[in-house]
Amino acid sequence: MHDWRRIRRVFSGVCLIAGPMLFFASVAMAGPDDTGSELLNYLRYHTANAVATDLTSIIAVLLLVPAFIGAMHVLRNRAPLLGYVGGGLALVGFAFLTVLIAVEAVAIEMAALGTSTRDMATVLDRSINQDAVIGVMFAIFVAGHVLGTTLLGIGLFRARLVPVWAAAALTLAGPMHFVAHGIGSRPLDFAAFTLLVAGLATLGVRILRMPDDDWDTEPGRMPSTASVSVAHEGAP
């Protein structure tokens, strides 16, 4: 039992560090996709980079799902409502990112054909901007990862599991990304994802340093006093 507790704890901590970092890498590698025409033109000459970006995004999602489950687990005694709601929303939101990855995978094949670029660009624009199913899935992704990570950040602040700056970083990351996407600011978007990485990775390090007994504390029971003091290290 002791070994399994450690495996679950270490796995959650590693996912909270590696998942956001890979997601940030995929964002940094991504090309322009404001319109179908821009996306097709980019994919035609940067196919290998686009494939690498999509694969990185898929791996990031696979790591982020257990990462958010770990965050929900560690918050269940100190901020259960914020942990479960925030973690659940973030988990569902990032899971729906696979839909957008699938759309780009189709666009890669369209770009490879090299014909009827104008018509294919129109199809992409309609699919992304007018298709009801894709629109709902995209809305779930945006709402999930923006609102979910914000609630998780507030939960971490209330639980005092990480330094205040790390909780604030995670709380601000989602709204900042939403604003950056709205005004089309790539630098602001990078700043938002940097905050996301900082907040989640700090929680990951905290979990890696956590005693197994505190990680597996029964719901409703507070961790030991000794471990609580560790969470305040580095906090203002």
What are the structure tokens assigned to 96, written together? 């729906």
How far apart (Å, rounded) are the C-alpha atoms in residues 30 and 120? 20
Of 2-6, 14-18, 178-182, which gets the smallest average pLDDT?
2-6
Q: How many CB atoms lie within 10 A of CB 170?
A: 32
Residue range 148-182, pLDDT digits in tens: 999 999 999 999 999 999 999 999 999 998 898 88
What value does the mean pLDDT take over residues 228-234?
46
Higher per-residue pLDDT: 6 or 109: 6
Give me the DSSP letters along 62-90.
HHHHHHHHHHHHHHTTTSHHHHHHHHHHH
Q: Is the pLDDT of residue 44 over 60?
A: yes
Task: Decide if 223 is inside a domain.
Answer: no
Separation of alpha carbons 143 and 134, rounded Å: 14
Contact 158, 78 (CB under 8 A): yes
Overall domain count for the chain: 1
pTM of the model: 0.82
Which domain does 46 fall in, by range?
2-216
Domain membership of residue 151 (yes or no) is: yes
Residue 226: which pLDDT band, with cuts at 50, 70 and 90?
very low
Please tell me the predicted confidence (pLDDT) of residue 100. 80
Percent of the chain's residues with pLDDT above 70: 85
The Cα-based distances of 52 to 10, 38, 114 in angstroms read 27, 19, 21
